[in-house]
Amino acid sequence: MPDPYANQLFSTSGTPCVEKTPVTGVINCTLHARSERRGLELAAFPSRALLKNEIHELILTAEECGPGKTVNQIAYLGFFEIQQGGILWVGDRVTLNGETIGVLAGYDLTHFPNHFNIVIKAPAPLKTGLESGVHPGDTVAFIFEKPESQS
């Protein structure tokens, strides 16, 4: 079956998503590691469905990236558990305790089906979870930003 994103099978330009609820969760593991040559291969698709109680990893990069790209320079933020499931969409604004930390860039499936590596484009210099003061119980949200072409 052809991939509708890779084969541009939609009648709209850009994203077909026009509205969605935020996906929220809670940090349950703080990480303190980084890599300059990680080689994360972001999947070609821009969206993923996340279910309540799933656990996924949050990774930061300052590199220009997106679906289908490779990411090398990263900082590990932490793992989080989904409290409110829903759809993640590349371009979602990502918040930690209500403060914007970056924009959803894509998903690496290295450890799937155990968990997704969720890659967030963040400003440099990158900080690990420990360096950022991330703690278990901190809240994470992925908030859809409606493209201007759909306003």
pLDDT value at residue 146: 74
Domain that holds residue 48: 23-150
**87-104: average pLDDT:** 97
Q: Which residue has the tokens 């469905």?
A: 49
In a domain, 7, yes or no: no
pLDDT value at residue 17: 82
Task: Say whether pLDDT at 125 is over 80.
Answer: yes
Task: Provide the number of structural domains found in the chain.
Answer: 1
Taking only the tens place, the pLDDT of each residue in 28-37 is 999 999 999 9
Counted residue by residue, the chain has a size of 151
| Long-range CB contact pairs, 64-69, < 8 A, 24+ | 64/121, 65/105, 65/106, 65/119, 65/121, 66/42, 66/90, 66/105, 66/106, 67/5, 67/42, 67/43, 67/106, 68/42, 68/43, 68/44, 69/42, 69/106
In a domain, 61, yes or no: yes
Residue 81, beta-bridge partner list? 26, 55
Taking only the tens place, the pLDDT of each residue in 129-149 is 999 999 999 999 999 987 665
In a domain, 15, yes or no: no
pLDDT value at residue 16: 78
More confident residue, 16 or 80: 80
* Cis? peptide before 4, omega within 30° of 0: no
pLDDT value at residue 8: 57
Taking only the tens place, the pLDDT of each residue in 99-123 is 999 999 999 999 999 999 999 999 9
pLDDT value at residue 145: 83
**70-80: average pLDDT:** 97
Mean pLDDT in the chain?
Answer: 91
In a domain, 9, yes or no: no
In a domain, 3, yes or no: no
